[in-house]
Structure 1
Amino acid sequence: MAAAVGGWERVSFEELPRALHQPVGEAQAEREAAASGYESIRAVEREAEAILLAAREAARQIEREAEQEGRAKGRQDAMDEARRRLEPLEASLREACRQVAAARQAVIMNTETELVDLAVTVAERVLRSELGACRDAASQFVRTALEVAGSRKVIAIRVNPGDYESLAEHRGELLGSHEAARLIPDPAISSWGCVVELETGLVDARLESQLQEAARLLGRDEMS
């Protein structure tokens, strides 16, 4: 399915050729990035545990002192004194916990963003490598875009100048019922991709648009 943005339509990432597999080395890089992020989270959690242990020990020490003082001047007075001494510690502990929670959330968000960025970067590298070895990659992009256009009238198809000649040679077979549409070389279009101009909008089938859509679906827009 195509994702509509204003008068534009982006070809769904799933509609691109699927015969693409991630190299083992790049998958390992993703796993290492994830492990690094999770280790950062554990470091924050260990800090929180240390703060809690210190607070508990301080509270026990105050209780011991209060109990000793209670024998001399009465238990109630001793407990009041203990509470007074605990108040600043409780405030500090609450603030420390708030900071730890905020830091943990920041680590999670940063890790997720980095992993999405890494996934998109790896996907782009793999796609460009695979597409570079595919002789009819540009034709596949055009066919996919025309399938999205459906029965709507196609005015023009803008393609990369490097792909124009090979596409023009098979124009009739490629365009089919849209043969009246103009095939236009456009330096603004990256290799293999195309933008189809319709009477009612555009179909964007450029590679970079598909990667942006993939990043959006993975949630990078929400995290940034």
Structure 2
Amino acid sequence: MRVSFILLVAVVGLIHCDCKKIQKTPRRYDRDVVHIDSDYHYKELGFSAGSGLRSIAQGSANNAHISVAKQNAAVQQAVYIAKSTLAQQATQAAATAHAALAAKEILLHGFEEEVTNAHHALEAEIKHYQLAKNFADAAKEATEAAEKHFALLSSALSNANTAIEHSKATEEQAGAELVSQVSMVDKAKSRLSAAISRLQKAQVEFEATKEAVNKASAAAHEAHENASNAADVATHALLANA
């Protein structure tokens, strides 16, 4: 894309240089005007009195033809300058759009990476949650086993009570850890949802920017073609009138 833009700028520069060369080329019909005017003045002084009226008519016709040629050349040159200016403006607009597209692409990649990281974080929190749940289930089973052991072994009441208290404490600790992990999972889900929302918004903006860039590039290409055609027309007109 950058190479195409550089080539486009180079073509515009060549067209501009050719236009300057055409403008600097001496106009033959200006010398013809001077020659015709001088000849007419020479005849007007009486050196060819027999054909004075014919010379006056011929000189007037030549002057009218030269004026029309000058007018056509000026119009073609003005059209070329206007189209060339619009082409340059379109090129600048396309370059600005390309820069905006590059910035949007960087943001898009950043959001994609953020979503990936959020996915990894969610997977890690889910694994921690599963470990905590397994630990809580094991603690609950241990508590139930201790309670059954207390019912069957009344003689070991003291030891059973100690085991129950220890199991309950472990269960409470596991329950607290489970609640904490549930909160962490909810937070991870919220971060993932926010990241996905930002990614979707960035994708919409990226597509809109890309469409604008394509339109700007097409307009710039059309403007350059118009400028090139105008330059060819102006050149042919000048050569035809030379």
Higher helix proportion, which one? 2
Provide the TM-score with structure 2 as the length reference: 0.39
Provide the TM-score with structure 1 as the length reference: 0.41
Larger radius of gyration: 2
Higher relative contact order (CA 8 A, sep 6+): 2
Higher strand proportion, which one? 1
